[in-house]
């Protein structure tokens, strides 16, 4: 959510930002917001005048009664009663106008970074850097589900019977590898100075509407029937929600946190891409990183955070690249975002395994997260980034470490988490 003061002062800048995101349908919201804001301020001025007059008239009534001017006092009392009725009307209208204004402001997208490439969707994202040389072996790489099944590490059919499409069982050494990667990622981030957290896996609606746009909520969140609770789609939701309504001491910043959670997503509208495997699923686990900082530090943390993800994948011998997300691919709260993509030797292309985003103060405004220092109180900046999400990471892992005999090599950094194993062997 942007600052209403900026909307008042620079409405054309807000309109241009909307156009950059190819959301022209939201352009009328700017004029409606300006009209509602003017009406709210007019009501506030009128209400303040009536409140001030009420105090003066109350004193006048007392003086008139002491002077036994009862008729005149009655007229003043009638004025007070009329003013009270009008004040009640003003307060009701103010509540209605403020609610509608807040709703509109939550639909107007955050400003995008000047460096963000202008584009309609993810096909126009721009490659920035590559890390490690992508390789294609001289033997055929099977589909990832076939690799995992030959390792007796996945059972899709049973999951379909118990839970439906988009779920899976992991078993044996593949399940152990899944947990090993998460444990390694946890320790990797702790070594970077982040505090490890396990958050609640369900959050209330006021947190949901604060951490994401309404479009994201509709496409992602599962609601618990009969309760004001939603299953989280990522631990970022409950981690940022933890500080809702708080004013933090500037000396505590930056807050650098890394969190583990299961994640639940509808994946609404996600069809036609790797449907048979575990690329798009309704339940997975993830290690996340969260930073809450002062505005002048957020770009530094943005660069540092996505570099951590790159470093983690490179340490496991998985080639990756980074893509700067274009304006049309940014969710409404995001100022800028970079996707980390891993190399797929089978497909001979990269695919997304994580995303790092700087939301500036847009998320903090919705949630009321401030900090206080010598210069006063201001909204904090919030950032989030995927450390690793094993289902997609497992695809990259088994493809890049597959041997001709069907075994999968375990890189040295993961062996302590795998009981010293150097390979996962296929089973006949």
CATH number at residue 42: 1.10.287.40
**Under a CB-based contact definition with an 8 Å cutoff, are residues 301 and 360 in contact?**
no
By C-alpha distance, which of 4, 91, 86, 92 is closest to 53? Answer: 86
CB crowding 224-235: b at 16 or more within 10 Å, else e: eeeeebbbbbbb
Same-domain pairing of 152 and 24 = no
3-state secondary structure 210-247: HHCCHHHHHHHCEECCCCCCEECCCHHHHHHHCCCCCE
Mean pLDDT throughout 388-397?
A: 93
**Residue range 347-366, pLDDT digits in tens:** 999 999 999 999 999 999 99
**Residue range 25-66, pLDDT digits in tens:** 999 999 999 999 999 999 999 998 888 887 777 767 677 777
CA distance 195 to 204: 24
The whole-number pLDDT of residue 275 equals 59
Provide the whole-model pTM: 0.90
**Residue range 332-350, pLDDT digits in tens:** 999 999 999 999 999 999 9
Same-domain pairing of 84 and 126 = no
Same-domain pairing of 142 and 84 = no
Same-domain pairing of 300 and 357 = yes
Same-domain pairing of 275 and 353 = yes
Domain endpoint, select from 105, 131, 156: 105
Residue with tokens 């575990």: 278
The whole-number pLDDT of residue 232 equals 95
- Number of domains observed in the structure of the chain: 2
* CA distance readout (Å), 142 to 146, 341, 409: 6, 20, 16
Same-domain pairing of 284 and 199 = yes
What range does the domain containing 55 cover? 4-105
**Under a CB-based contact definition with an 8 Å cutoff, are residues 268 and 220 in contact?**
yes
Question: φ and ψ at 340, to 5 degrees?
Answer: -105, 125
**Residue range 124-145, pLDDT digits in tens:** 999 999 999 999 999 999 999 9
Enter the tokens of residue 128.
């920035």
Kindly state the DSSP code that residue 402 receives in the 8-state scheme. Answer: B
Q: How far apart are the first and last CA of the chain?
A: 56
**Residue range 172-226, pLDDT digits in tens:** 999 999 999 999 999 999 999 999 999 999 999 999 989 987 777 777 889 999 9
The whole-number pLDDT of residue 272 equals 44
CA distance 282 to 278: 9
Mean pLDDT throughout 289-312?
A: 98
Same-domain pairing of 287 and 340 = yes
pLDDT(295) > 90:
yes
> The CATH number of the domain where 200 resides is what?
3.30.930.10
Average pLDDT, the chain: 92
Same-domain pairing of 18 and 79 = yes
pLDDT(67) > 60:
yes
CA angle, 154 as apex, 351 and 158 as ends, to 5°? 120
Residue 78 DSSP SS3: helix
The whole-number pLDDT of residue 78 equals 80
The whole-number pLDDT of residue 268 equals 60
Same-domain pairing of 91 and 196 = no
Mean pLDDT throughout 383-411?
A: 95
The whole-number pLDDT of residue 274 equals 47
Mean pLDDT throughout 115-129?
A: 96
Mean pLDDT throughout 256-271?
A: 84
The reply to whether 110 falls in a domain is no
Give the model's confidence band at 89: pLDDT under 50 very low, under 70 low, under 90 confident, else very high: very high
Same-domain pairing of 205 and 350 = yes
Domain endpoint, select from 47, 75, 105: 105
């Amino acid at each position: 959510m942007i600052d209403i003061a900026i909307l008042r002062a620079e409405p054309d800048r807000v309109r241009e930002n909307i156009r950059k995101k190819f959301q022209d349908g939201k352009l009328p919201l700017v004029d409606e917001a300006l009209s509602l804001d003017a009406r709210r301020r007019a009501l506030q001025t009128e209400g303040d005048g009536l409140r001030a007059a009420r105090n003066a008239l109350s004193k006048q009534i007392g003086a008139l009664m002491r002077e036994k001017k009862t008729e005149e006092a009655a007229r003043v009392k009638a004025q007070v009663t009329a003013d009270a009725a009008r004040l009640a009307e003003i307060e009701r209208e103010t509540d209605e106008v403020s609610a509608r204004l807040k709703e509109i402001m939550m639909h107007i997208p955050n400003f995008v970074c000047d460096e963000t490439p202008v584009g309609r969707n993810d096909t126009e994202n721009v490659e920035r850097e590559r890390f490690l040389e992508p390789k294609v072996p001289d033997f055929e790489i099977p589909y990832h589900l076939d690799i995992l099944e030959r390792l007796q590490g996945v059972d899709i059919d049973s999951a379909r019977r118990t839970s439906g499409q988009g779920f899976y069982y992991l078993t044996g050494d593949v399940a152990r590898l899944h947990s090993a990667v998460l444990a390694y990622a946890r320790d990797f981030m702790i070594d970077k100075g982040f505090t490890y957290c396990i958050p609640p896996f369900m959050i209330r609606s006021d947190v949901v509407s604060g951490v994401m746009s309404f479009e994201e909520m509709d496409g992602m969140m599962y609601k618990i029937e009969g309760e004001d609770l939603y299953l989280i789609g990522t631990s970022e939701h409950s981690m940022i929600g933890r500080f809702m309504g708080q004013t933090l001491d500037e000396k505590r910043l930056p807050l650098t946190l890394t969190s583990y959670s299961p994640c639940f997503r509808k994946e609404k509208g996600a069809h036609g891409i790797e449907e048979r495997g575990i690329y798009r699923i309704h339940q997975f686990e993830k290690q996340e990183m969260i930073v809450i900082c002062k505005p002048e530090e957020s770009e530094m943390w943005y660069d540092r955070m996505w570099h951590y993800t790159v470093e983690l994948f490179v340490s496991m011998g998985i080639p990756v690249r980074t893509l700067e997300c274009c304006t049309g691919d940014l969710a409404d709260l995001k100022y800028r975002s970079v996707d980390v993509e891993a190399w797929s030797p089978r497909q001979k292309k990269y695919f997304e395994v994580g995303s790092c985003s700087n939301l500036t103060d847009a998320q903090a405004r919705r949630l009321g997260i401030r900090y206080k220092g010598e210069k006063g109180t201001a909204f904090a900046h919030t950032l989030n980034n995927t450390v690793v999400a094993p289902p997609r990471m497992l695809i990259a892992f088994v493809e890049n470490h597959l041997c001709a005999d069907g075994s999968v090599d375990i890189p040295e950094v993961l062996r302590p988490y795998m009981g010293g194993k150097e390979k996962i062997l296929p089973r006949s």
